[in-house]
Amino acid sequence: MVSGGCVGAEGEVDPEAVAPAAATEEAVVPVQAPAREVVVGYALTTKKAKSFLQPKLRGLARKKGILFVAIDQKRPLSDQGPFDIVLHKLTGKGWQQLLEEYREAHPEVTVLDPPGAIANLLDRQSMLQEVSELDLTDCHGKVRVPKQLFVNTDPSSIPAAVRRAGLSLPLVAKPLVAKSHELSLAYDPTSLTKLEPPLVLQEFVNHGGVMFKVYIVGDAIRVVRRFSLPNVDEGDLLNNAGVFRFPRVSCAAASADDADLDPGVAELPPRPLLEILARELRRRLGLRLFNIDMIRQHGTRDRFYVIDMNYFPVGEKNTAGEKR
């Protein structure tokens, strides 16, 4: 089962260590049998499976007594296994129903994670709600979410809706369904009419062009730096118009961990702050495998914003050089 972000085999015995005791009649020490393998059934798209289940990961898992087994999505889950853990990143009502029925029939199996909980991170309208309700003002820093607005109306009415909501330009436009990593930056009211709802508009916060990706696996936390969108100043607002589209921001190729950065930009968020944030979000979201995208407001040391979250982030290299 999963505990503290690690899955491993317990009770392994070194034969050389127990041999002397076994040979001594006066001290008969019972040798504990090796624990059985931990079977992880996985249901991933072909692309995700190839990205996640790298040979290095499989080899490390075998040494730890962990066996990855592909789940046949065309057969009932109860006819497969037995599994100790089910790891998945699939969508669709059919799969969700199949998995929920399996969870009810096999409560002893750890499912990473329940489909209902994952749904919280698939809708950007509600994704950051739990973060906005947290009170972390006195926890080694302040964590907030940018002002944002859900838009599902005629594009021509977006400028008026933005004014009513009190949002300031520029605005980041993100697809409502968090399956796409594409985002756009709108500098002026006219460009807002060129957007394609449904979407979420989020106030842009200057952050020195660096984002912190916080990976959470159970109790374990890992943070990496990624290059992000550069700061926007008054001159940019005056001299730019239109919608600027970014197919993907902060991917692994944009790693900033080894870059020569201003220390005020590069400094990682305080560890105690991340631990409290991760613990609270695990509890509120009911998830154990997700990541948080955080930025530090430029010119401050302790003011952070959570701008996005993702379930089971797979496909980019982490700081250990392994796929995440």
188 assigned to a ligand binding site: no
207 assigned to a ligand binding site: yes
Of 7-21, 62-76, 93-107, 232-246, the range with the lowest mean pLDDT is 7-21
205 assigned to a ligand binding site: yes
* DSSP codes joined into one string, 217-243: ETTEEEEEEEE-PPP--HHHHHH--SE
pLDDT at residue 35, as a whole number:
65
* CB-CB neighbours of 253 under 10 Å: 10
Alpha helix segments (H runs only) across the chain: 15-23, 46-52, 55-63, 93-105, 115-118, 129-132, 158-165, 189-192, 234-239, 263-266, 271-285
Query: What is the rounded CA–CA span in Å between residue 33 and residue 145?
Result: 51
177 assigned to a ligand binding site: no
64 assigned to a ligand binding site: no
127 assigned to a ligand binding site: no
Query: What is the rounded CA–CA span in Å between residue 311 and residue 324?
Result: 11
Whether the predicted pLDDT of 312 surpasses 50: yes
Q: What is the pLDDT of residues 104-161, one digit of tens each?
A: 999 999 999 998 899 889 889 889 999 999 877 667 889 999 999 999 989 999 999 9
124 assigned to a ligand binding site: yes
239 assigned to a ligand binding site: no
Query: What is the rounded CA–CA span in Å between residue 210 and residue 304?
Result: 12
Q: What is the pLDDT of residues 20-51, one digit of tens each?
A: 333 333 334 444 545 679 999 999 988 889 88
Report the Cα–Cα distance between both ends of the chain, in Å, rounded: 20
Q: What is the DSSP letter of 89?
A: -
143 assigned to a ligand binding site: no
Q: Which two three-digit tokens encode residue 301?
A: 């040391």
Whether the CB-CB separation of 146 and 305 falls below 8 Å is answered with yes
Which structural domains are found in the chain, ordered by start? 38-112 (3.40.50.11370), 122-311 (3.30.470.20)
Query: What is the rounded CA–CA span in Å between residue 202 and residue 183?
Result: 11
